Amino acid sequence: MTSLPTAFLALPLPIVQLSLSAVLKCGQSFRWTAYSLNIDSENACLPTHEYRFCLRDRVVCLRQTPTSILYRTVLPNPQPNVDQRKLHEAETLLWLKDYFQLDVNLASLYEEWGSRDKVFSEIKDRFSGIRILRQDPWENLISFICSSNNNISRITKMVQNLSKEYSSPLLSLSVPDGSGVEEIYHPFPPPSALAHPDVSARLRSLGFGYRAEFIHRTAKMLVETHGNTVHPREQDESSEQWLRTLRDMNTEDARAELLKFVGVGRKVADCVLLMSLGKTDVVPVDTHVYQIAIKYYGMKASPKGKMNMTPKLYEELSTKFVQVWGGYAGWAHSVLFTSDLKSFSLHGLPPPMSPLSTPTKNRKKRSREMTDLVPTFSTPPSTSSLSDSSTATEFACSKSPAERVKKRARK
């Protein structure tokens, strides 16, 4: 089962376009493992870490230099010949471009957000290279059902336990820190593996808490509704493929589909819309985002001082951030969110001035500063050059019948 190492290939990419260390451990995906490389010299051009991710049929290993991403593919035995190996590396390269969405120019977006928003311009140079991954919707959905009322380190453990418990080991590989230790890599399990009757009890005993039932019922419903026949070529189940078709749906319809699952509320649905269904403008709102809005965007704090996230407040925050940042608001939000995780070094910023919801009209002295802070508050969302056609259409369809569809009862 042990696989032999192969050489790394290089994909030229400026570090401002992608920071692996920031993106892979910031709570988007919970299945990347990071290893220190024990660099003896202080050469800043050498990678300090390696990151690994197990796909259905291979393990992808990544390192980063200031000017490129180094990648290599590890396959299970039997090992392919040289020609087959080249094909696999070509496939991995295509996967990388898709997964990291490298056709999106992140540096341009940072400029755009910085010119729209003073708060963003203050942090953008310290938190560069943070982009939204384009994940597999099935893994993304289950991972974020785990995320409710939870923290990153525990979510990571849960998702890894899920993989270890419900999918066969693909291969093992020695860790790159020179210790000689071998690690076993598991893909993310398919829906049918989690739809089995005794799954929820087992997950309970694995420490999943009340999310155990959510996961089981979601998997069961998905398999019952959309099947588990395995596509001969794609290698994945029909319900996983169906989830991917939500990418072709408009935001409101896709969200309505996601909300049908147990354990999926507005916040989790929006995370999936943003992180695996390509809805770039969706801003998932949680308590952190609310705090950020209060501290730096003049959002009025709740009268009672409680953090009650009502649907109304959620909608208000979400739409206002779209007004601030535009068609890629969800991407911008993740930069702010990541900087907040690193316990916010925003001290030099001016105090919050502009109420996000209701601007005070009798304070002219402040109205100028408000304009300074958030120049685009009163202007409609931009559908400028940065937004591609699919994003523009998202703004276009403002109402949809599916928005009114209620979460139907299930047994």
**Using the rule CB under 7 A, which residue among 24, 26, 141, 159 binds DNA?**
26
Is 309 an interacting residue with respect to DNA (CB under 7 A)? yes
Tokens 């319809």 — which residue?
253
Element (H, E) at 395: helix 389-396
Tokens 């919801």 — which residue?
357
CB nearer to DNA: pick between 11 and 341: 341
Is 202 an interacting residue with respect to DNA (CB under 7 A)? no
The partner residues of 35 in beta bridges, in order of sequence, read: 50
Can you tell me the distance from the alpha carbon of 62 to that of 77, in angstroms, rounded to the nearest whole number?
21
CB nearer to DNA: pick between 59 and 145: 145
Nearest 10 degrees: CA dihedral of 138, 140, 142, 147? -170
| End-to-end Cα distance, the chain | 43
CB nearer to DNA: pick between 315 and 372: 315
Asked if residue 31 lies in contact with residue 135, where contact means CB atoms within 8 angstroms, the answer is no
Q: Binding marks (x or -) toward DNA, 332..361, rule CB under 7 A?
A: -----x---x--------------------
Contact stretch for DNA (CB under 7 A) within 100-108, 184-192, 256-264, 390-398: 256-264
Can you tell me the distance from the alpha carbon of 272 to that of 15, in angstroms, rounded to the nearest whole number?
26
**Using the rule CB under 7 A, which residue among 46, 48, 201, 210 binds DNA?**
210
Is 114 an interacting residue with respect to DNA (CB under 7 A)? no
Over its C-alpha atoms, the chain yields an Rg (Å, rounded) of 22
**Cβ count near 251 (within 10 Å):** 24
Can you tell me the distance from the alpha carbon of 145 to that of 211, in angstroms, rounded to the nearest whole number?
7
Is 287 an interacting residue with respect to DNA (CB under 7 A)? yes
Contact stretch for DNA (CB under 7 A) within 5-13, 165-173, 281-289, 373-381: 281-289
Is 244 an interacting residue with respect to DNA (CB under 7 A)? no
Can you tell me the distance from the alpha carbon of 325 to that of 203, in angstroms, rounded to the nearest whole number?
40
CB nearer to DNA: pick between 12 and 311: 311
**Using the rule CB under 7 A, which residue among 9, 15, 27, 93 binds DNA?**
27
CB nearer to DNA: pick between 294 and 341: 341
Least Å distance, CB 407 to DNA, is: 7
- Which residue in the list 25, 124, 267, 279 is annotated as catalytic? 267
Element (H, E) at 157: helix 152-166
Q: Binding marks (x or -) toward DNA, 153..182, rule CB under 7 A?
A: xx----------------------------
Catalytic residue check, 361: no
Retrieve residue 356's tokens.
């996000």
Total site size for DNA, rule CB under 7 A: 42
Q: Half-sphere exposure of residue 261, counting CA atoms within 13 Å on the CB side? A: 32
Least Å distance, CB 133 to DNA, is: 12
Give the sign of the dihedral formed by CA 274, CA 279, CA 280, CA 285.
Answer: negative
DSSP string, 308-324: ---HHHHHHHHHHHHHH
Retrieve residue 314's tokens.
């959620």
Pairing of strands 68-74, 9-12: antiparallel
**Using the rule CB under 7 A, which residue among 204, 244, 295, 366 binds DNA?**
204
Tell me phi and psi for residue 398, to 5 degrees: -80, -35
Least Å distance, CB 308 to DNA, is: 7
- Smallest Cα–Cα separation from 59: which of 45, 47, 71? 71
Can you tell me the distance from the alpha carbon of 260 to that of 271, in angstroms, rounded to the nearest whole number?
15
**Using the rule CB under 7 A, which residue among 264, 277, 299, 370 binds DNA?**
264
Is 311 an interacting residue with respect to DNA (CB under 7 A)? yes
**Using the rule CB under 7 A, which residue among 265, 355, 359, 375 binds DNA?**
265
**Using the rule CB under 7 A, which residue among 271, 292, 317, 324 binds DNA?**
271
Can you tell me the distance from the alpha carbon of 54 to that of 29, in angstroms, rounded to the nearest whole number?
12
Q: Binding marks (x or -) toward DNA, 129..158, rule CB under 7 A?
A: ---------------x--xxxxxxxx----
Is 312 an interacting residue with respect to DNA (CB under 7 A)? yes
Least Å distance, CB 131 to DNA, is: 14
Site residues (CB under 7 A) for DNA, limited to 213-242: 214
Query: Interface with DNA by CB under 7 A: which residues?
Result: 26-28, 144, 147-154, 204, 207-211, 214, 261-269, 271, 284, 286-288, 307-312, 337, 341, 407
What amino acid positions are annotated as catalytic residues? 267
